[in-house]
Amino acid sequence: MGALTVGVTPVGLALVAFGDEPETALWAAEKLGEEPTADPAGSAEAAAQLAEYLAGERKAFDLPLDWRLTAGRQRTVLEVLYENVPYGATVSYGELAVRAGMGRDYTGARGVGSIMGSNPIPVVVPCHRVLAADGLGGFGGGLARKEWLLGLEGVLTGGLF
């Protein structure tokens, strides 16, 4: 899976980035108008819960989320995903578009795909659980990570995990 960078504000978890990317956390802090600081206590719980999830020991996150890096339709879709697609379940881009009130047409599904690619809190807000009608679809962390996460949750079995 590799390293993850987390960004936590006084409101909650605002960022999960794939890799050791402190510059991404600095960008997020600037965008939120927060003073960038190293807050081991604030990020320790997020890091611990992510480690437990990645070790197969946690099925749901219990963290306050700071949604301020999202807005409008993006926030709506990500909140619907977070609240309605639990561990081990999947949803298609089109179905998520319907659940979020974007309609069933091709445009709604493509819009959801774009939103998944801009998710600032992947893994915790589980965009890896959103699949294309004809297969896995894309993933901002790379297809191998999406396959690994879906395998961890028991969605993919056999040779793919």
User: What whole-number distance in Å separates Cα of residue 48 and Cα of residue 27?
Assistant: 23
User: What whole-number distance in Å separates Cα of residue 150 and Cα of residue 41?
Assistant: 30
Pairing of strands 4-8, 13-18: antiparallel
User: What whole-number distance in Å separates Cα of residue 147 and Cα of residue 40?
Assistant: 30
Q: Quick check: is 83 catalytic?
A: no
Q: Which helix (H) or strand (E) holds 8?
A: strand 4-8
Catalytic residue among 6, 109, 127, 131: 127
Measured in degrees and rounded to the nearest 5, phi and psi for residue 129 equal -85, 0
End-to-end CA distance of the chain: 12
User: What whole-number distance in Å separates Cα of residue 17 and Cα of residue 151?
Assistant: 20
Residues 66 and 9 sit within 8 Å (Cβ to Cβ): yes
Catalytic residues: 127
